[in-house]
Structure 1
Amino acid sequence: MTGFQALTEKEKQALRLLAGGHDAKSMARYLGLSVHTVNERLREARRKMSVSSSREAARQLRDHERGDPENHGDMSLGDAAAAPGMEQSRASAEARRMSRRAGWIVGAIIMSVSLALFALASLSGNAGTPAAAPSTAPAQSPAVAAARDWLALVDKGDWNGSWEATGQAFKALNTVETWTRVAIRVQGPLGAVKSRVLVSEETVPAPPYGYQMVKFRTDYANKAGAIETLSLVREGGSWRVVGVTVE
């Protein structure tokens, strides 16, 4: 096979992230991979699509998926209605990775066009990213307030509402169905929230615009002293969650 039909789902994922404004380093951090592996996927995608530029391959894939209502691109990633086997496999891999980290790793934490990535997946930095700088914002800054509001939706089990309140980088890699399934699997054993206290807020100067990292210490019915870390970016005048972990 050649062209779009020959691309694997992992290669498409890399191209979608690239089209969203990520670079190889931010994709590697989000996906929990090495930069070498990300570049290999982009190289294979270029070869299969017979183009010399990864960005050109990403642009062609984006245009192809936008023009094909049956194709599940950025707006329908992982939708069970199409390619169920592929979606289920990806969701299972995501669930396993989140289970190993004993928390949610859903969404992107470094930014895309309006941010960088999270993606999609840990908060560890690298040599090319400056260390997080403590913020001088008040305890209840707009980012902290947005984080609390989002967590309140999660506490209530409002999966549609919490998904809608996430940023574009999160939605590009998680459908509402995938988010609902994984969140229920992770949150269920924790039980109800008993208390939540703000620990810190930091400004992380990641390209292109940076993001806010907000941490809470939360006591669940079945887990005391859990640390919830949320990454938020500014989109459309509002703070949006693009990554969350619970440890």
Structure 2
Amino acid sequence: MTSGIHTLTEKEKETLRLLVDGHDAKSMARHLGLSVHTINERLRDARRKMAVSSSREAARQLREIEHRLPEKLADKALGEAEAVPGVEDRPTPAEAPRMVRPLGWLVGGLLMSLTLALFALSSMTGTSDTPAAAPSTAPAESAAVAAARDWLALVEKGDWNGSWEATGQSFKALNSVETWARVASQVQGPLGAVKSRVLMSEEAVPAPPYGYQMVKFRTDYANKAGTIETLSLVREGGSWRVVGVTVE
């Protein structure tokens, strides 16, 4: 697998990364200013070089190789992609993005590619290590922010099964619970306990197919102060679910 990836051109890698981010052939063509035919040729060449029958599998393998570094997960967010010619895998339903950059997590899909945001997190009440509730005069946090805090609380407790179950379809399609548990524990462990977590911003990102909510926290860990946690969430089944997160 590794040798096949080394033969890929940068343009082929770029196309595979967009596929992992949830784009279909048409949206990739629009994003890159190319024809759908050119996009399909890149995917076909990538499948041949990597000796796989599925473009989605080629994209998944590329993601694993590129993020097989210390304190990295995945730097992408996933969105629901329409079927791409030559991609035999059934398209994964999702409402948006997936997680890593150096010193960051990426656990879901579309984020990093479109907003450099590809692993959302704790309840409004948080844990004993979370900061005290905001004064009553402060505006109430949104449901997306609350869902992000809830998910972070599960991660802090090392509840890998629970945090994986709370992610979106696109995240689960590209990350097994075993992979998530292994990588998340490697990243979370060195940070230590949470001392404080403050909401920095919440933004609605109009990305295909349905957009997603980006939530940012500034968190002080016992071993790393001033950490920026960026989570992407999509609406699934009436609930906000995490599809991407970076920790920098």
Both proteins in one fold, TM over 0.5: yes
Among 56, 67, 82, the alignment partner of 1:94 is 67
How far off is 1:223 after superposition?
0.3
Residue identity in the other structure for 2:178: E
Among 105, 110, 116, the alignment partner of 2:74 is 105
Provide the alpha-carbon RMSD of the alignment.
4.2
Determine the C-alpha separation between the residues in 2 that align with 1:39 and 1:156.
44
The residue number in structure 2 matching 1:120 is 109
The residue number in structure 1 matching 2:161 is 160
Determine the C-alpha separation between the residues in 2 that align with 1:43 and 1:196.
45
Deviations 1:8-32 (A, max 9, x none): 8999xx99x969963258789xxxx
User: Is residue 165–residue 240 contact of structure 1 (8 Å, CA) maintained in 2?
Assistant: yes
Determine the C-alpha separation between the residues in 1 that align with 2:47 and 2:242.
32
Determine the C-alpha separation between the residues in 2 that align with 1:26 and 1:120.
15
Determine the C-alpha separation between the residues in 2 that align with 1:164 and 1:117.
17
Q: Pairwise mapping of residues 156-235 of structure 1 onto structure 2 (< 5 A)?
A: 156-235=157-236
User: Is residue 108–residue 117 contact of structure 1 (8 Å, CA) maintained in 2?
Assistant: yes
Determine the C-alpha separation between the residues in 1 that align with 2:175 and 2:242.
13
User: Is residue 110–residue 116 contact of structure 1 (8 Å, CA) maintained in 2?
Assistant: yes
Shift of the 20–187 alpha-carbon distance from structure 1 to 2, 3 Å rule, reads closer
Shift of the 95–192 alpha-carbon distance from structure 1 to 2, 3 Å rule, reads farther
How far off is 1:142 after superposition?
0.6
User: Is residue 192–residue 223 contact of structure 2 (8 Å, CA) maintained in 1?
Assistant: yes
How far off is 1:234 after superposition?
0.3
Determine the C-alpha separation between the residues in 2 that align with 1:21 and 1:122.
10
Shift of the 239–207 alpha-carbon distance from structure 1 to 2, 3 Å rule, reads same
Determine the C-alpha separation between the residues in 2 that align with 1:27 and 1:177.
31
Taking structure 2 as the reference length, the TM-score comes to 0.59
Deviations 1:38-58 (A, max 9, x none): 75552237879xxxxxxxx87
Shift of the 19–152 alpha-carbon distance from structure 1 to 2, 3 Å rule, reads closer
Determine the C-alpha separation between the residues in 2 that align with 1:182 and 1:37.
35
Q: How many residues matched?
A: 184
Residue identity in the other structure for 2:187: V
Shift of the 217–19 alpha-carbon distance from structure 1 to 2, 3 Å rule, reads closer
Shift of the 217–21 alpha-carbon distance from structure 1 to 2, 3 Å rule, reads closer
Determine the C-alpha separation between the residues in 1 that align with 2:20 and 2:113.
23
How far off is 1:140 after superposition?
1.0
User: Is residue 109–residue 232 contact of structure 1 (8 Å, CA) maintained in 2?
Assistant: no
Q: Pairwise mapping of residues 128-139 of structure 1 onto structure 2 (< 5 A)?
A: 139=140
Determine the C-alpha separation between the residues in 1 that align with 2:40 and 2:206.
24
Deviations 1:172-206 (A, max 9, x none): 11000111111111111111111111110000000
Shift of the 24–246 alpha-carbon distance from structure 1 to 2, 3 Å rule, reads farther
Shift of the 120–27 alpha-carbon distance from structure 1 to 2, 3 Å rule, reads farther
Shift of the 148–42 alpha-carbon distance from structure 1 to 2, 3 Å rule, reads same
Shift of the 227–110 alpha-carbon distance from structure 1 to 2, 3 Å rule, reads farther
Determine the C-alpha separation between the residues in 2 that align with 1:192 and 1:213.
24
Shift of the 189–242 alpha-carbon distance from structure 1 to 2, 3 Å rule, reads same
